[in-house]
Structure 1
Amino acid sequence: MTASTNGRNVLISGGSIAGPSVAFWLNRYGFRTTLVERWHEVRPGGQNVDIEGSGRTVLRKMKLESEVLALHTKETGSNWMTIDGQSRLHLPMGDISPTNETEIQRGDLAKLLYDKTKAQTEWIFGDQIVGIDERGEGVEVEFQSGKKKEFYAVVLADGVGSRTRKLVLGPDEYQFRPLGCYIAYWGMPRDASDQFYDKWQIVPLPNRRILSTRPERTKQFTNTFFSFIEPTSLGLEKLPKAEQIEKLKPYLRGSGKYEATFIKGLENSNDLYLDYAGQIHAKRWHSTGGRVALVGDAAYCATPFSGMGTPLSLVGAYILAGEMARHAGDPKKGLEDYQRIMTPYVKSIQTLGPGIPRIVHPQTWLGIETLYWLVRTMVGIGRLWKRSGLEWLFSKISGPPEDEIVLPDYTALEIGSGQDGKKP
């Protein structure tokens, strides 16, 4: 099997953000793409994400920026709230709020990428990779369905909990580094009496918990994010959904006016996501044979506390696909260059700094008041110096800013002129 006879067919595992983005770009470069997603459809819902910096630059290159803006969640700013529902600090969008015009629900972005690739990419739902065998000039893949097929290359983009990563990397070649914190997302019907619905509401709770809500564009639902500190994993992330709900309910006790509403919303949710937060650090983002690559959270998850998961996926997909196209005759070289170019960017984003996430999860009421004061002080500094106080704060706490990568130009490698990679 050679690249010239197989049409450079590439298999991609994972149908969220990174996987379809890789397919999008490979289609532009003339590859034939197949994407396998173990879920039965493109997963709807999910957390709100924003796409700024280099990630937004990639969106522009994809000619998708206007469509992402049209899917904005209608979030108008952020409010730091008290346990009894009073706003302590309001940050309107366009001032110094972390809210921006590219706020979009993860599921909406995933659906957009599906729509932009489905005409050229073969999507396979309800299946997954269970075996990978690199052999000479190709890769034989075995699927859970029992089918086997050969590909020019394989891209693994199936998230922080990747089930395929271990097929490529040995146990000493990657590490999950826990952050000592659980994160949970779920959706629930909108509370019509919520006067702050269109804001990102952030509610620090004692005993190192944070509850927050964000709107979604149809104004029918509320997206909930809940995090709490646990020094070690309690195994909650491995439980069935029904058991996870029961285990989470005690953590929501003592959340004031929010308690009854959010416990009921949790009990009735069908989209709960619960995980023990951590980062993926891998020595290699590709196989030794040079025909299997990892991208996105499967390769270098930075956790939601970085705020950079989606930009990382978009940038990683862009560079991976570009280097695969640049080195089509030498795929191993392409994957090595992909890692070389991306490594400084990934390292800067994974550098969360001391205290994260504990510093934003106070233990006591005094700690909560101190957190309010700290945010208010940074906002004042930001306004004084005409820059974002929160950006300044988080650059000191979380590490370097997000725009620390020069994106290569792969335009000359494209075979099409349209945004879907269609030939002119």
Structure 2
Amino acid sequence: MSKLRVLISGASVAGPALAYWLVRAGCSITIIERAPSLRSAGQGIDVRDTARDVIKRMGIFDIMRAKSSQEEGIMFVDSNNRPYAEFGVDDSGEGDSMTCDIEILRGELAKILFDVTKDDVEYIFGDMVESLQETGKDIVVSFASGTPERAFDLVVGADGIGSSIRGMAFGREELNVRSLNAYVSYFSIPKTDIDTLWSRVHWITGGRNMVMRPDNMGRTRAFLSLIAYSASDERLVQLGKAAREGIPEQKAVVQELFQDGDWEIQRMLEGMHESDDFYMQYIGQVRLDRWSSGRVTVVGDAGYAPSPFSGMGTSLAFLGAYVLAGEISKQPDNIPAALLSYERILRPHVESIQNLPPGIPWIVNPQSMMGVRVLETFIWGVGWLSKIGVTTLASKITAYLPIGGKLFKLPEYEAFNK
């Protein structure tokens, strides 16, 4: 039979990772990306657990490690920048820390994935899917910006938490995305002498958190997050309105909501206004009753975003890409059955990660000063016990915080061993 024709929407992580494995499964792949080129912006991300085996099989493990930020660990600091707890980098990738030896900028990872797939995959930038129409034997795709209408055997949404493909296939978006009442802003600022290879974290009241992390480009990555207890919090309304309006409005709202902070907030806000890589992200989880609809399916955040609080979003993207392509390789003449197998195999692992412990993320982003002090004291205690060897971060924190999940056993696929 002729090669399966697969269209993937999204050229960040999940899409190109899926394309890599589908090529090895004998498929003809097209990736459509609405941005005019690869996106260079993005926060630091890592790969944990069994997903590390996936990137090793792709031959990009060492490339990713060479491009990593070389972060040495995370320290929690008070308003005077004095650390009260430190946790070194985890080089096993098993979730024993909040950072690991592969801490890489999303833009850097996207470039690596593009380079290992560009010779075998058709990339179309600056366009997006406008409509989908199933005919019984294939699915006809119309595009928004000039790409001619084409037919495919399968369409995959790999276009993130705001996936347009998911909206077309499943509808009722308000039922598919569970809000965590949070927004995070990411941007880079000039590096100073105070910045080292250690990340620094500081909390202030109002569910607000400030983070500065090293990168491999000579700058410092800044994150400002706000988590509210209630969806009716007026600050969420402000952030939601700005998210629809544009970057200038987003920066203005972040300025307003964080300008009363201490620590290095003024430096961060000044750098934010000068940054050209700012973006703000709504934080939620994607939870679907089913992952496929006819000849359309989803992978990564588009189908099962676990939220940044899980620390497993990128890992799930790699696992999902591997399993989806693998199941298609086993039964390429029966796409519906392959899609059902993909969901049956991976969904239990996804749900184990999405099921955040009670109170997360709110309990670790307190609104009051007393709450901040209690959290700092708890983290200090865990850090002290780890330092003297009585316990580890894994045994004390990961028992409660959503770092990692149940270990996933990677299936073996004959097509990938050729």
**TM-score > 0.5, shorter chain as reference:** yes
Give the unaligned 5+ runs of structure 2.
none
2:56 paired with 1:60: yes
Structure 1 residue 14 displacement after superposition: 0.2
Contact 1:211 1:227 survives alignment (8 Å): yes
Q: Under a length normalisation based on structure 2, what TM-score does the superposition of the two structures give?
A: 0.92
Structure 1 residue 245 displacement after superposition: 0.6
CA distance in 2, matches of 1:97, 1:376: 15
Structure 1 residue 368 displacement after superposition: 2.0
Write the mapping of 1:4-403 to structure 2, written as runs, cut at 5 A: 4-5=1-2, 7-93=3-89, 97-146=97-146, 147-171=148-172, 174-190=175-191, 192-194=192-194, 196-218=195-217, 220-230=218-228, 231-232=230-231, 233-234=236-237, 235=240, 236-287=242-293, 289=294, 291-382=295-386, 388-390=392-394, 392-398=396-402, 401-403=404-406
The secondary structure found in structure 2 opposite 1:85 is coil
After superposition, the Cα gap between the structure-2 partners of 1:312 and 1:151, relative to the gap in structure 1 and judged at 3 Å, is: same
The secondary structure found in structure 2 opposite 1:362 is coil
Partner of 2:407: 404
CA distance in 1, matches of 2:151, 2:174: 26
Structure 1 residue 110 displacement after superposition: 0.9
After superposition, the Cα gap between the structure-2 partners of 1:283 and 1:106, relative to the gap in structure 1 and judged at 3 Å, is: same
After superposition, the Cα gap between the structure-2 partners of 1:415 and 1:345, relative to the gap in structure 1 and judged at 3 Å, is: closer
The secondary structure found in structure 2 opposite 1:322 is helix
CA distance in 1, matches of 2:386, 2:264: 31
The secondary structure found in structure 2 opposite 1:24 is helix
Structure 1 residue 148 displacement after superposition: 0.3
Structure 1 residue 381 displacement after superposition: 4.5
Partner of 1:422: none
Offset from partner CA, 1:231-264 (integer Å, 9 cap, x none): 2241232221111110110222132241221111
Give the unaligned 5+ runs of structure 1.
417-424
Contact 1:53 1:403 survives alignment (8 Å): no
Q: Under a length normalisation based on structure 1, what TM-score does the superposition of the two structures give?
A: 0.91
Contact 1:383 1:389 survives alignment (8 Å): no
CA distance in 2, matches of 1:374, 1:249: 30
Structure 1 residue 45 displacement after superposition: 2.7
CA distance in 2, matches of 1:386, 1:27: 49
Offset from partner CA, 1:248-303 (integer Å, 9 cap, x none): 1022213224122111111112222213311111011111x2x2110111101111
Cα-Cα RMSD: 2.0
CA distance in 2, matches of 1:58, 1:228: 33
After superposition, the Cα gap between the structure-2 partners of 1:172 and 1:237, relative to the gap in structure 1 and judged at 3 Å, is: closer
Q: 2:80 corresponds to which letter in structure 1?
A: D
After superposition, the Cα gap between the structure-2 partners of 1:380 and 1:256, relative to the gap in structure 1 and judged at 3 Å, is: closer
After superposition, the Cα gap between the structure-2 partners of 1:391 and 1:122, relative to the gap in structure 1 and judged at 3 Å, is: farther
Q: Which stretch shows the higher mean deviation, 232-241 or 73-82?
A: 232-241
Contact 2:85 2:384 survives alignment (8 Å): no
Contact 1:181 1:357 survives alignment (8 Å): no
Q: 1:394 corresponds to which letter in structure 2?
A: T
After superposition, the Cα gap between the structure-2 partners of 1:282 and 1:381, relative to the gap in structure 1 and judged at 3 Å, is: same
